[in-house]
Structure 1
Amino acid sequence: MPTYGQFCPVARTAELVCERWMPLVLRELMLGSTRFSEMQRGVPLISPALLSKRLHQLVAAGVVTAHGEGRSRTYEMTPAGWELYPVIEAMGVWGQRWARSEYGADELDPSLLMWDMRRMLQPHGLAERRTVIEFWIRGGPPRKSTYWLVVDGAIDLCLVDPGQQVDLRVNADLRALTQVWMGDRTMVEAREAGLIEVLGPPRLAERFPTWLGHHPVLGGVARADAG
Structure 2
Amino acid sequence: MGHVRRNYGQYCGLAAALDVIGERWTLLIVRELLLGPRRYGELLEELPGIGTNLLAERLKVLHELGVVTRPQTRDQGYALTDLGRELREPVLSMARWGLHFIDAPADDVEVRAHWGFLAVQAMIDPDRATDIDESYEFRVDDVVFHIAVTDGKPVALDGPAEGDPAVVARTDARTFVEIGAKRLTPFEALASGRLQLVGDTDAIVRSSVLLGLMASPIG
Same-fold call, TM > 0.5? yes
The one-letter code sitting in structure 1 at the alignment partner of 2:59 is L
Cα RMSD, aligned residues only:
4.2
Instruction: Give CA-to-partner distance per residue, 1:109-140, whole Å, 9 cap, x none.
Output: 35x1x232367789x756xxxxxx7x8xxxxx
Tell me the TM-score normalised to structure 1 length: 0.58
1:183–1:31 Cα change, 3 Å: farther
The one-letter code sitting in structure 2 at the alignment partner of 1:10 is L
1:79 aligns with 2:89: no
Distance in 2, matches of 1:96 and 1:9, equals: 25
Name the % identity.
26
The one-letter code sitting in structure 2 at the alignment partner of 1:2 is R
Secondary structure of residue in 1 paired with 2:103: coil
The one-letter code sitting in structure 2 at the alignment partner of 1:60 is E
Distance in 1, matches of 2:195 and 2:93, equals: 34
Distance in 2, matches of 1:13 and 1:51, equals: 19
1:90–1:180 Cα change, 3 Å: closer
Counterpart position of 1:63? 67
1:43–1:221 Cα change, 3 Å: farther
Counterpart position of 2:92? 89
Q: 1:103, 1:175 within 8 Å by CA — same for their partners in 2?
A: no
Secondary structure of residue in 1 paired with 2:212: coil
1:95–1:154 Cα change, 3 Å: closer
Secondary structure of residue in 1 paired with 2:96: helix
1:155–1:5 Cα change, 3 Å: same
Question: What pairs up with 1:4-153 in 2 under 5 angstroms?
Answer: 4-69=8-73, 71-97=74-100, 100-105=101-106, 108-110=109-111, 112=112, 114-117=113-116, 148-149=142-143
Counterpart position of 2:178? 179
Structure 2: any 5+ residue segments left out of the alignment? 122-134, 146-156, 161-169, 215-219
Number of equivalenced pairs: 176
1:220 aligns with 2:218: no
Structure 1: any 5+ residue segments left out of the alignment? 127-132, 136-146, 157-169, 199-204, 223-227
1:95–1:221 Cα change, 3 Å: farther
